[in-house]
Amino acid sequence: MNQKTHWENIYASKPRETLGWYKPHLETSLQWILDLGLPRTAPIIDVGGGASTLVDDLLDEGYEALTVLDLSANALSQSRERLGERASRVTWLTGDVTTMQLPGEGYALWHDRAVFHFLTTAAQRARYRDQMLKALQPGGHVIMGAFAPEAPPKCSGLPVERYDEARLCRALGETLELERSHKELHTTPGGVAQMYLYCQFKKRV
């Protein structure tokens, strides 16, 4: 089964509240974004945003230039439906972050929770990194949440890479400067403990 089919099936067959990565709100991501103090017009992309409510919370906070990208059209439809008419204020991109066309220097902030860790080959990670660096404005920020070394070796039935701070810094490259990091235990709706590493980076000018 290819990756797109895997994710489409997951979102079509299970309520989002039962998915392992589900959280009613991505509090850490939201708080870190608020802490950055970006202008409300700053372009922000949530990569692999799935059906998460981060976009709802950012709209509530007044952010005006939001993009949510995901491989799964089903996931994005769920978010669009939930948002109702507010969905038209968001740009929705369906596709693979490692290959799709993204605007050059188009974003002040790149957010990724639980997406990069699914890239298990060096070639995939290199493509992701290239895409991210091209799409980020100079001085732009990255907030990433990925499985920490203590987390299980699989997420959503797929193998994942697990990262400590040094390994994530190496994987994303020297163009990004680490600004902040934090480990956080997530418990899945099924009761499984998953340790996440959150890191915030700034693209060197």
Ligand X SMILES: C[S@@+](CC[C@H](N)C(=O)[O-])C[C@H]1O[C@@H](n2cnc3c(N)ncnc32)[C@H](O)[C@@H]1O
Query: Which residues of this chain interact with ligand X, rule CB under 6 A?
Result: 3, 7, 21, 26, 48-50, 52, 69-72, 75, 96-98, 113-115, 118, 155-156
Question: Based on CB atoms, which residue is closest to ligand X, 13 or 166?
Answer: 13
We find the least distance from the C-beta atom of residue 109 to ligand X, in angstroms, to be 14
Cα 70 to the center of its chain, rounded Å: 9
We find the least distance from the C-beta atom of residue 122 to ligand X, in angstroms, to be 15
We find the least distance from the C-beta atom of residue 99 to ligand X, in angstroms, to be 8
We find the least distance from the C-beta atom of residue 205 to ligand X, in angstroms, to be 27
Question: Based on CB atoms, which residue is closest to ligand X, 66 or 69?
Answer: 69
Question: Based on CB atoms, which residue is closest to ligand X, 131 or 202?
Answer: 131
**8 A C-beta contact, residue 23 and residue 186:** yes
**What gap in Å lies between CA 28 and CA 113, rounded to an integer?**
10
Residue ranges with strand state E in 157-192: 158-159, 176-187
Residue ranges with strand state E in 39-173: 44-47, 66-70, 90-94, 107-113, 136-147, 154-155, 158-159
Question: Based on CB atoms, which residue is closest to ligand X, 70 or 161?
Answer: 70
Question: Based on CB atoms, which residue is closest to ligand X, 108 or 144?
Answer: 144
**8 A C-beta contact, residue 135 and residue 144:** no
Question: Based on CB atoms, which residue is closest to ligand X, 72 or 108?
Answer: 72
**What gap in Å lies between CA 9 and CA 28, rounded to an integer?**
28
We find the least distance from the C-beta atom of residue 149 to ligand X, in angstroms, to be 18
Looking at this protein, which amino acid is placed at residue 125? R
Burial class (CB in 10 A: 0-12, 13-18, 19+), 44: buried
We find the least distance from the C-beta atom of residue 96 to ligand X, in angstroms, to be 4
CB neighbourhood size of 68 (10 A)? 27
